[in-house]
Structure 1
Amino acid sequence: MNSDIERELLAFINQELGTKFTSLENDAEVEKRLRIGGDDTLDFILAFSKRFDIDISEFEPANYFAGEGLMLDFIGLFKRLKGEKIPKLIPLTFGDLKKAMLTKKLV
């Protein structure tokens, strides 16, 4: 993928999160690699969208990120006890972010 895209994304991440990453593996999951979750992940995606003018109108955070908080833990527990399946989350990768920078859309 375009090395300029990777440099721009690295600069953004390092500035936004105060990190010093030097590379981003395309298949690495954003939350795991950046050690963020819940509301912090949503804030990151909003800042990413604003910085790179990415359309996120069709992006469904609930498909990618678990919510945070004790209430969500209890809801998940009750669903499992009732035999309901909890949908598996889709991993959001750095490759997805790089693609969004090229297409100007994150879905």
Structure 2
Amino acid sequence: MAINSIAEIEDFVRKESGIFPGKKINPSTTIEDDLHITGDDAIEFMEKFFDKFEVDYSSFDFQRYFNGEGFNPFKLLLLPFPSFRRKFQQEAEKVPLTLGMLAKAVELKKWDAEKIEQHQLN
């Protein structure tokens, strides 16, 4: 990864997310939780990211990192049923996607979840 790639990614994130210029972001900043990019906005954000940085996204699993658009209160009614509760818990247990992970994808030039997520743990 080039020395300035994280800076380029930070510039891209600032431009695409519209975050306040003075807000601190770093490699551990999460796209969904910290920057509040979710649902359709997250799809558009990731499409622009893959295009701009020429990252092969053929193995990218959107559902692994992002929740869907909005909140469905009817899901709460299904929680007493074990099969629905397991599905609801799986939906809630997303891998937090960070700027550092985006930088690793740029370095690899492809989305390799195992390498990218392992890099985040180091």
Q: Same fold (TM over 0.5)?
A: yes
Counterpart residue number, 1:29 = 30
1:17 partner letter: S
2:34 partner letter: R
**Could you tell which deviates more after superposition, 2-11 or 35-44?**
2-11
Counterpart residue number, 1:16 = 16
- Structure 1 gaps of 5+ residues are none
Q: Give the direction of change, closer, same or farther, for the CA distance of 1:29–1:54 in structure 2 (3 Å limit).
A: same
TM-score by length of 1: 0.80
Counterpart residue number, 1:77 = 76
C-alpha contact 1:28 1:94 (8 A) present in aligned 2: yes
Percent identical pairs in the alignment equals 31
Structure 1 residue 34: deviation in Å?
1.6
C-alpha contact 2:6 2:27 (8 A) present in aligned 1: no
Count of equivalent residues: 105
Counterpart residue number, 2:63 = 62
C-alpha contact 1:38 1:65 (8 A) present in aligned 2: yes
The C-alpha deviation readout for 1:34-55, integer Å capped at 9, x for no partner, is 2221111111111100100111
The counterpart of 2:96, out of the listed 82, 88, 91, is 91
Q: After the TM superposition, list the runs of 4 or more consecutive aligned residues in structure 1 that deviate by more than 3 angstroms.
A: 21-24
